[in-house]
Structure 1
Amino acid sequence: MVEPTGNTEKALLVLASAGDVVAFSSLFHLHKHKLFSYLLALTESQMLAEDIVQDVFLKLWNEHESLTGIENFGNYIFRMSKNHAINHFRRMAHETLIISEMFQADPTHNQTEDFIALQETEKILAEIIDKLPAQQKAIYHLSRHEGRSHEEIAALLKISPHTVRNHIVQAMSTIRTHLIRHSEIFLILALTASFKK
């Protein structure tokens, strides 16, 4: 791959900002491999790295009129990608915490409405987890319920920590997608919680 010169890249940015799909595609092909390698090292997930590369360039295209204002395109997209990865892991950690709290909540501390919502949520979560692929379900259980590290799970199942992480990312993505469909339950929990404060 030929490295772009500053002038070449600037010319492509000017064309892309005017809506030139070919120029934008050239920018994508000039940077995608380095960006993917960086994200793969950062996330240890091929699927997640590919998703972030696509998300970053989709966002750039949706805002292509502002491309000419970018001084160093390479640095800019690496910063964007890093922020995407950080936000993903923050979101995942938050979701894991919510799920963990729901499973560990003490029903005796809830009012009747809260208890019914909690029971329904736990039922939905159990159904989602039960439908995960066998290895993914086993890894999720070892990680979230037994508190084992990626390295411990990898040694136990004779797979790589990278594979463990991929399975957890995929499991969380599946859980998130299904829970969005049942968001009214979270709304009930949030409303009842707000009345207690």
Structure 2
Amino acid sequence: MPTDVSYDVRELLTRVADGDEAAFQSLFERYRSPFFGVCMKLSGAREVAEEVVQETFIRIWEKRQHLRDLEKAQAYLYRMFRNVLFEYFRHMAAERKAMGAILDHYDTGTDEGVSEKLRLEARLALLQESLRHLTPQQANVFRLIRLEGLSRNEAADRLGISPHTVRNLLAEATRVLRTKSGRLELAILFFLSMAES
């Protein structure tokens, strides 16, 4: 058995490239903890760390044909993890900025404006919490279409999936949100149902 760690990783990645699920499981077990630890330090949230690690390994599996004969196998894995992590933080920053702009719009400086701002903030927090019930792919589709305003075709292009899959994921996301989020106001439910019309 080779003692050189980089050689072991290259060999493991070659097996993963061939579709070897046992090798993929070994790769996951080897890198899950370091990836998880870094993400926990940066985010402080277990859910975030789990989601980022899961998405990293989903992408590694989806791009497994590129794993064969990598010069710097371990660097490739860490770069993949870093990219997923940065995407997550960029997305969260954009989401917070969008929510802040909406809240600023409703802040008129009067008691009525503050009250409306608090109600809107509560609605947005409730919607954000409800998104946690979705799978990562459903949440990605929902955010791209409902929060960023992309069309189904644009979302499909960005995610590398078919528009038909986007439609199905959006419909399923809407169903899950309706089921799990009984406290959502009718206006928000109407907003969600726009995807089906």
Which stretch has the larger CA shift, 59-68 or 99-108?
Answer: 99-108
CA 63–36 in structure 1, closer or farther in 2 if over 3 Å, else same: same
Please state how far the C-alpha of 1:53 moved relative to its aligned partner: 1.0
Which residue does 1:151 correspond to in 2?
A: none
TM-score, normalisation: structure 2: 0.54
Indicate conservation of the 8 Å contact 1:39/1:81, yes or no: no
CA 72–44 in structure 1, closer or farther in 2 if over 3 Å, else same: farther
What SS does structure 1 have at the residue aligned with 2:71? coil
Please state how far the C-alpha of 1:171 moved relative to its aligned partner: 4.4
CA 20–186 in structure 1, closer or farther in 2 if over 3 Å, else same: closer
Indicate conservation of the 8 Å contact 1:43/1:85, yes or no: no
Q: Which runs of 5+ in 1 are unaligned?
A: 109-118, 133-169, 188-197
Which residue does 2:14 correspond to in 1?
A: 14
Which residue does 1:37 correspond to in 2?
A: 37
Partner letter of residue 27 of structure 2?
Answer: L
CA–CA distance in structure 1, aligned partners of residues 146 and 11 of structure 2: 49
Looking at both structures, which has the greater relative contact order when contacts are Cα pairs under 8 Å and sequence separation is at least 6?
Answer: 1
CA–CA distance in structure 1, aligned partners of residues 147 and 75 of structure 2: 42
CA 172–127 in structure 1, closer or farther in 2 if over 3 Å, else same: closer
Which residue does 1:87 correspond to in 2?
A: 87
Q: Deviations over 1:86-114 (max 9, x none)?
A: 22122111111111211221699xxxxxx
Indicate conservation of the 8 Å contact 1:16/1:64, yes or no: yes
Indicate conservation of the 8 Å contact 1:31/1:74, yes or no: no
Please state how far the C-alpha of 1:21 moved relative to its aligned partner: 0.6
Partner letter of residue 7 of structure 2?
Answer: N
CA–CA distance in structure 2, aligned partners of residues 36 and 24 of structure 1: 17
Partner letter of residue 42 of structure 2?
Answer: L
Which residue does 2:123 correspond to in 1?
A: 127
How many residues align? The count is 134
CA–CA distance in structure 2, aligned partners of residues 184 and 37 of structure 1: 32
Which residue does 2:61 correspond to in 1?
A: 61
Q: Work out which of the two has the higher radius of gyration on C-alpha atoms and give 1 or 2.
A: 1
**What percentage of aligned pairs have identical amino acids?**
25
CA 57–15 in structure 1, closer or farther in 2 if over 3 Å, else same: same
CA–CA distance in structure 2, aligned partners of residues 30 and 185 of structure 1: 36
CA 71–186 in structure 1, closer or farther in 2 if over 3 Å, else same: closer
Indicate conservation of the 8 Å contact 1:4/1:30, yes or no: no
Q: Which runs of 5+ in 2 are unaligned?
A: 109-115, 150-197
Which stretch has the larger CA shift, 20-29 or 79-88?
Answer: 79-88
Please state how far the C-alpha of 1:46 moved relative to its aligned partner: 1.8
Please state how far the C-alpha of 1:124 moved relative to its aligned partner: 7.2
Indicate conservation of the 8 Å contact 2:32/2:53, yes or no: yes
Please state how far the C-alpha of 1:7 moved relative to its aligned partner: 2.8
